[in-house]
Amino acid sequence: MWGYISELKADVERMRARQGLPREGPGSPSSNGVPPRLQASAASEEQGGPMAGAKEALDKLLIADFFLVLFILAWLAAGVAQSGLNGGSSPLLDAWYPLWPLLWQPALGVLMAGALVSGGIGWVAEQQAKRR
């Protein structure tokens, strides 16, 4: 089994050499436990300035909103199933309907608009990176 591990390590080193990446080892820059790809990602975010921070905050908001929308969908599905089993009456749907214009529609709108804005910010950042 240990022979396979040493062969795997040799393959990884050959791949690194082909791609021009530094070798891993005790004295290498990536020996701090953080993979080089993540180090590069953190460096690019630091260079992005306030735009990167705003995009990260927007992405966190969108993730939370996405799970809220999943909860809304599960509640609606449970209400429809209960309505089908009870012959048209469902306390779950009766509680869900009044919240549609107040909470559920805005949550869906924020998710859709936020996805468009986040994609736009990412595109702009990519275009700026290409110019550099």
Whether residue 3 is contained in a domain is answered as no
The C-alpha angle with vertex 101 and arms to 100 and 102, in degrees rounded to 5, equals 95
Structural domains in the chain (count): 1
Residue 31 belongs to some domain of the structure: no
- State if pTM tops 0.85: no
> Residue 19: inside a domain, yes or no?
no
At 24-80, the pLDDT tens digits run 655 455 545 555 554 544 444 445 566 778 788 888 999 999 999 999 999 999 999
Contacts of 114 (CB under 8 A, 6+ apart): 58, 61, 62, 65
Residue 71 lies inside a defined structural domain of this protein:
yes
